[in-house]
Amino acid sequence: MAPRRLDLTISPLEQDKSVNTLLRHELGLSGGAVRRAKSTPGGITLDGTPVFTTAQVAPGQTLSVQVGGFGTAERLVPTPGPLNICYEDEDLLVLDKPAGLAVHPGPGHRHDSLGNFLIYYYDSIGLLADFHPVNRLDRGTSGLMVVAKHPHAHEQLGRALHTGAFRRGYLAVCRGVPFPREGLIDKPIARAENSPIRRQVSPDGAFARTNYRVLGAQDGRSLIAVFLETGRTHQIRVHLSFMGCPLIGDFLYGNEDATLPGRFALHAAYVGLIHPITGADLRFHCPLPQPLADLLPGVSPLEKSILEDFCESHF
């Protein structure tokens, strides 16, 4: 398949404007995206002919720019593996990541990460695309992840994070019942002393805000909806532990649970986003996995609209 390109038909109002102006202001490309296209043969064309960014345009012409298929400096090793693709188009995918699967290669997971699986999938269908995760999930967390296929979509979505253009909702099962049953945890988070992984609430930490609502409780456990205003490392885990209600199975901030091997009770259940190219309002839901639902058998199944309304109400 050909690399992803964006096209713009020049209107009379855009007559005599430079290619660079149209790339930056009409197509929304960053300086980096323009430089990548300039350095690629045929990366920027006007009516099919390569042009410099200083060229001026005329009404009726078609400006075309390559935004994908550049590859990465260190390409991941393609590895066959399971993928649950909820949505896919030319610019992005939405995946349901299982718990226990690392997003990136790392120690002990050099060739069996989500990135390896996705590169193999691209190669199997002849797609020139890259691996650019937008919202990242811990290995022990399941649920919805958005992955951009090219740097331009990644840049646009990255700017949208923690705004009304990119909303994320989680379901969690924690020990105890948070009090009050709905609220905002507004506590800064920093690295814990003597640990390269663990985080903690600290007055010297980075600004962090977590909204939550208790949806049901049973036998000293609670099902809660969580909406993030910020995206600090381990934010939900740290904030709930700080409240005295750590996630079930969280070995780092609470206790392991034999019924949840390889995971803890956190699931990315909702993503709402404005498409970075088309502007469409996309919304995705992913139900609570059965192992987490089994932790609270007496709590009624959650209607997806409740979590969506909780997330959307903050914008």
Check pLDDT > 90 for residue 194.
no
Q: What is the per-residue pLDDT across 82-109, written as a single tens digit (0 to 9) for each?
A: 999 999 999 999 999 999 999 998 877 7
Q: Provide the pLDDT for residue 12.
A: 95
Pair 248, 175: CB distance under 8 Å: yes
Report the distance separating Cα 277 and Cα 40, nearest Å.
21
Q: What is the per-residue pLDDT across 102-135, written as a single tens digit (0 to 9) for each?
A: 999 887 778 899 999 999 999 999 998 989 999 9
Helix, strand, or coil (residue 300): coil
Q: Provide the pLDDT for residue 313.
A: 76
For 85-312, CATH number out of 3.40.50.300, 2.60.40.10, 3.30.2350.10, 3.40.1180.10 equals 3.30.2350.10
**What DSSP designation does 277 have?**
T
Report the distance separating Cα 302 and Cα 289, nearest Å.
12
Mean pLDDT of 7-31: 95
Q: Provide the pLDDT for residue 304.
A: 63
Q: Provide the pLDDT for residue 315.
A: 60
Is it true that 5-66 and 85-312 share their CATH fold?
no
Check pLDDT > 60 for residue 73.
no
Q: Provide the pLDDT for residue 312.
A: 78
Q: What is the share, in percent, of the chain residues with pLDDT greater than 70?
A: 96
Mean pLDDT of 56-61: 96
Mean pLDDT of 39-68: 96
For 126-248, strand residue ranges (E) read: 132-133, 142-148, 166-175, 182-186, 189-191, 199-201, 209-218, 221-228
Could you state, in order of their start, the residue ranges of all structural domains in the chain?
5-66, 85-312
The CB density around residue 24, as the number of other CB atoms within 10 Å, is 16
The CATH homologous superfamily for domain 5-66 is RNA-binding S4 domain (3.10.290.10)
Of the two residues 217 and 306, the one the predictor is more confident about is 217
Token digits of residue 154: 């990644």
Task: Give the residue carrying structure tokens 């609270």.
Answer: 296
For 180-306, strand residue ranges (E) read: 182-186, 189-191, 199-201, 209-218, 221-228, 266-274, 281-285
Q: Provide the pLDDT for residue 314.
A: 67
Mean pLDDT of 185-207: 94
Of the two residues 65 and 298, the one the predictor is more confident about is 65
Mean pLDDT of 153-172: 92
Averaged confidence pLDDT in the chain:
92
Q: Provide the pLDDT for residue 274.
A: 96
Report the distance separating Cα 37 and Cα 43, nearest Å.
4
Q: What is the per-residue pLDDT across 223-266, written as a single tens digit (0 to 9) for each?
A: 999 999 998 999 999 999 999 999 999 999 999 998 898 899 99
**Active-site residue set:** 138
**What DSSP designation does 315 have?**
-
Q: Provide the pLDDT for residue 74.
A: 65
Q: Provide the pLDDT for residue 143.
A: 96
